[in-house]
Amino acid sequence: MITKLDKEFIRTLARDGKRENGRRFDEFRPLKIELGYAKNAEGSALVTLGETRVLAGVKLSVGTPFADTANEGVLMVNAELGPKASPEFEAGPPSAQAIELARVIDRGIRESKCVDLEALCITPKEKVWIISVDIDPLNDGGNLMDAGGIAAIAALYNTKIPKLDEDGRPMFGTDAGRLKLRKIPVPVTIYKIGSAVVMDPDFEEAEAADARLTVTSVDGFLCAMQKGGTGNFKSDEVVRVVESAYGKAAELRSAIKDALGI
Partner 1 sequence: MMAEESKKLITGGRRIDGRALDEIRPMAARTGVIARANGSAQFAMGDTVAIAAVHGPREMHPKHMQDPVRAYLKYTYAMAPFATQDRVKPGPSRRSTEISDVSRQAFNSVVFLEEYPKTGIEVYVEVLQANASTRCAGINAASMALADAGIPMADLIASCSAGKVEGQIVLDVAGEEDTEGEVDLPIAYIPRRDEIALLQMDGLITLEEFKKALELAKQGCIKIHETLVDALKEKYRHIELSVSSARSEDKEDV
Q: Is 171 helix (H, G, I), strand (E, B) or coil?
A: strand
Q: Which residue, 232, 133, 112, 246, is CA-closest to 189?
A: 246
The H or E element containing residue 235 is helix 235-260
Choose which of 23, 107, 160, 248 interacts with partner 1 (CB under 8 A): 107
Minimal distance in Å, beta carbon 87 to partner 1?
Answer: 16
Q: Does 233 interact with partner 1 (rule: CB under 8 A)?
A: yes
Choose which of 242, 249, 252, 259 interacts with partner 1 (CB under 8 A): 242
Q: Does 145 interact with partner 1 (rule: CB under 8 A)?
A: no
**220: Cβ contacts below 8 Å, ≥ 6 apart:** none
Q: How many CB atoms lie within 10 A of CB 97?
A: 14
Number of shown-chain residues binding partner 1 (CB under 8 A): 34
Contact characters 3-42, partner 1, x per CB under 8 A: ----------------------------------------
Q: Does 66 interact with partner 1 (rule: CB under 8 A)?
A: no
Nearest-angstrom CA–CA distance, 232 and 137: 27
Q: Does 238 interact with partner 1 (rule: CB under 8 A)?
A: yes
Choose which of 96, 166, 177, 261 interacts with partner 1 (CB under 8 A): 96
Residue ranges in 190-229 that form contacts with partner 1 under rule CB under 8 A? 213, 218, 220-229
Choose which of 12, 174, 232, 254 interacts with partner 1 (CB under 8 A): 232
Q: Does 90 interact with partner 1 (rule: CB under 8 A)?
A: no
What's the start-to-end Cα distance of the chain, in Å? Answer: 40
Instruction: State which residue, 50 or 148, has the beta carbon closest to partner 1.
Output: 148
HEC string of 197-229 equals: EEECCCHHHHHHCCEEEEEEEECCEEEEEEEEC
158 vs 43, 90, 151, CA distance in Å?
A: 5, 30, 10
Nearest-angstrom CA–CA distance, 87 and 163: 42
Instruction: State which residue, 7 or 103, has the beta carbon closest to partner 1.
Output: 103
Minimal distance in Å, beta carbon 224 to partner 1?
Answer: 5
Instruction: State which residue, 31 or 224, has the beta carbon closest to partner 1.
Output: 224
Choose which of 190, 246, 252, 259 interacts with partner 1 (CB under 8 A): 246
Q: Does 231 interact with partner 1 (rule: CB under 8 A)?
A: yes
91 burial level (CB within 10 Å; 0-12, 13-18, 19+): exposed
Q: Which stretch binds partner 1 (CB under 8 A): 36-44, 48-56, 111-119, 157-165?
A: 111-119
Nearest-angstrom CA–CA distance, 164 and 14: 55
Amino acid at 195: S
List contacts with partner 1 (CB under 8 A).
Answer: 94, 96, 99-100, 102-103, 107, 110-113, 213, 218, 220-235, 238-239, 242-243, 246
